[in-house]
Structure 1
Amino acid sequence: MQTPPVDSPPRPPQPRTALHVTWVLTLCSALLLVLVAAEWRPLIGLDEDVSSTTHRWAVDEPGITHAMRILTDWVWDTWTMRLLCAVAVVWLWWRKGDRWTAVWLAAACVLGSLLQQGLKAAVGRARPVWPDPVDSAHYAAFPSGHSMTAAFVCGLLLWLLHHYGATRGPRRTALAAALVSVAGVGVTRVWLGVHWTTDVVGGWLLGALVVSLAVLAHRRLRPRPAGTLDPGGGADTSRSPGARESR
């Protein structure tokens, strides 16, 4: 009698793949940062063309513009995203008892926000200026704080769902919500005339980079019980009592 096949659990992403993704995101983010800081004319011209078109639409469609302001100020605001992160930290600390991951998540969100503010100050890019603005914003333009915060908060929360073995249904729902949120907040910032398109793209790239670096840090730095598998697939014996004597 033939034994029915048993589905094996999905294999985690290989560390080298994660490292390659991190390098690609780093290079893309750095390239865009350099082009924006150098005010590369083809890129600046593209930004101006897109912003002029979307601003004209925003002025001509006040109803849509009002909806965009509600979404960007309340639904996808940076503080709304940080509140989601704080709720996840509390859940990890008290409900899951995973205090190391709770601290890791809080640190990743704080460091992501600091990186965003530091780059804004370093690049010092001016925001679009209009004779008939439909909204206003402060501080420098690059990268978009709304886009970057949404990208790394949603990315980290999606990774946590995968890490804790959430079923396919909740994961798909969360992924759809994350994609709508990250893409949607970028659209609102350009539509309202407070960011250039490359500010938004830069925010997405840098947010994804924060997620990638944070996941690598979690895999490499989190303490593991003796005898568990390390990220490379081998047994971690570094904490076993006889590890030092056997060397």
Structure 2
Amino acid sequence: MGTLTALRQLRARRQQADRRFGARLLVSAAVAAAAAVPFALILVLVEGQWAPLRRIDIGAAQRLHEVAVRHPAWTAVLHLLSDRVWDPVTLRVAVAALTVWLLHRRAWRLAAWATVTAVAGGLIGLLVKTVVERVRPALQDPVAHAPGYSFPSGHAMTATTSFAIFVLVLLPLVPTVWRTTCWCVAVFSVLGVGFTRVALGVHWFSDVLGGWLLGLAVVAVTTAAFEAWRTEAGLGHHPVSEGLEPELTEATHGPGRSRP
């Protein structure tokens, strides 16, 4: 009788776990859809050459190009930021270094999340560029040149995924009073990348907007998957705004190992 009761209790717990897991999968799918819909809308408008969006693209490109041509020093600063500080290669190397550090700290799953987010972002962006085949702005007396297709902006997308990785991984190591500053720096950098690409005349505004939205969609999907794993692993709930893995603090200041 006792064995039968135990089996029934075990079956009930498994059924409850299955229902919870199914609910989390639905939540993850909803997050992915909510993140992808704005990008899909921009893509449709770009492909359909929607007149209002086209006017915004042309107006922003022309006005910012006039400023860049008249102010060479300002343009040099834009080049420094776009081609050195916020360059995709620079950001990817930084993400790779962060991943190596996470592996050293034996934060295996966090390292896997960072890798998947960065690689998926790069591949998806390249795939969309190849499919859309949008031509870059053709301006008189251009101040910069860039190869390949235009939509979405690879700089904007890489900045979005990279700074999301930096913040969500490292935030648990930052004192609480500085966390808002970290978020502000990340947001400023992502917006700054987009501004430099439009100001240098190598992207339309909608290219940058598409890069931001697609990058956010990738981060939303991978983060939802990571949070679902944490819940199933019994690691508790916490706001994503505090970082993905609070246990990283223990791994850094403790015995050198994060929770399994």
User: Do they fold alike, i.e. is TM over 0.5?
Assistant: yes
More helix by share: 2
1:161 and 1:171 in contact (8 A); partners too? no
1:100 and 1:222 in contact (8 A); partners too? no
- How many residues align? The count is 215
Match of 2:209, SS state, is: helix
Partner Cα separation in structure 1 for residue 173 and residue 189 of structure 2: 23
Shift of 1:206: 0.8
Match of 2:150, SS state, is: coil
Could you give the per-residue CA deviations for residues 98-134 of structure 1, whole angstroms, max 9, x where no partner exists? 1122122112110110000000001000000122000
Counterpart in 1 of 2:182? 174
Counterpart in 1 of 2:14? none
1:158 and 1:174 in contact (8 A); partners too? yes
**What is the TM-score normalised by the length of structure 1?**
0.80
Counterpart in 2 of 1:88? 98
Partner Cα separation in structure 2 for residue 159 and residue 21 of structure 1: 17
Shift of 1:91: 1.6
**What is the TM-score normalised by the length of structure 2?**
0.76
Counterpart in 1 of 2:111? 102
Shift of 1:172: 2.5
Could you give the per-residue CA deviations for residues 186-243 of structure 1, whole angstroms, max 9, x where no partner exists? 1100100000001111111111111111101112246965xx25669xxxxxxxxxxx
Structure 1: tracts of 5 or more residues without a match: 1-14, 233-247
Counterpart in 1 of 2:62? 52
Matches within 5 A, 1:151-190: 151-162=160-171, 164=172, 166-190=174-198
Cα distance change on mapping 1:108 and 1:31 into 2, 3 Å: same
Match of 2:55, SS state, is: helix
Which of residues 131, 136, 157 in structure 2 aligns to 1:127? 136
Cα distance change on mapping 1:87 and 1:169 into 2, 3 Å: farther
Partner Cα separation in structure 2 for residue 229 and residue 65 of structure 1: 49
1:220 and 1:231 in contact (8 A); partners too? no
Residue 182 of structure 2 aligns to which amino acid in structure 1?
A
Shift of 1:19: 5.9
Q: Alignment RMSD, CA only?
A: 2.3
Match of 2:208, SS state, is: helix
Match of 1:219, SS state, is: helix
Shift of 1:18: 6.8
Identity of aligned residues (%): 37
